[in-house]
Structure 1
Amino acid sequence: MTEPQQLHTVRVGEPYLPGFTGWRDKTAQIRLTPHGCEILIAYTRPTPVEVAQFHEGRCKFGWADLWSAAMLAFKIGGLEWMDASFHPMHQDPADRGLPRAEDQDQRTTLEALAALTAPGSKDDYAVLGATDSPIRGGGDHLLVRIFFIDAADGAVAAIRLVSWPPNFVGQVRATIERMLSSPFDPAAEEDALNRHMAVCTPLETYQRADIRCIGGAPA
Structure 2
Amino acid sequence: MYKYEVGQIIPAFMGHAENVYFNMDNGGATMFVFFQSPTMKEIEQFKSGKEFQIRFVELYDVIMLMAKIGDLDWMDAPYTPHLSPDLTQFATPTEGQGLGLTLILVDATTGQIKSIRLLGLSENFTRKLLGTVIKNAEKPFNINSYNMNIAKIYSQYPTKKLVKMSNDYCKIN
TM interval, short-chain normalised: 0.7 to 0.9
Give me the TM-score of the superposition, normalised by structure 2: 0.88
| Residue of 51, 59, 66 corresponding to 1:66 | 59
Question: Residue 49 of structure 1 aligns with which residue?
Answer: 41
Unaligned runs of 5+ in 2: none
Structure 1 CA distance for aligned equivalents of residues 120 and 83 of structure 2: 24
Confirm or deny: 8 A CA contact 2:93 2:127 kept in the other structure: no
Give 1 or 2 for the bigger CA radius of gyration. Answer: 1
| Residue of 194, 201, 204 corresponding to 2:158 | 201
Structure 1 CA distance for aligned equivalents of residues 147 and 89 of structure 2: 21
Unaligned runs of 5+ in 1: 1-5, 103-136
Confirm or deny: 8 A CA contact 1:68 1:185 kept in the other structure: no
Q: Deviations over 1:79-138 (max 9, x none)?
A: 22110000111122x434544436xxxxxxxxxxxxxxxxxxxxxxxxxxxxxxxxxx52
4+ runs of 1 displaced by more than 3 Å? Answer: 17-20, 96-102
| Residue of 105, 109, 132 corresponding to 1:148 | 105
Q: What letter is aligned with 2:22?
A: I
Q: Percent identity?
A: 22
The structure with the greater share of residues assigned to strand is: 2
Deviation, 1:40, is 0.3
Q: Secondary structure at the match of 2:115?
A: strand
**How many pairs were matched up?**
172
**Cα RMSD between the aligned structures?**
2.0
Give me the TM-score of the superposition, normalised by structure 1: 0.71
Confirm or deny: 8 A CA contact 2:15 2:110 kept in the other structure: no
Question: Residue 167 of structure 1 aligns with which residue?
Answer: 124
| Residue of 3, 9, 29 corresponding to 2:3 | 9
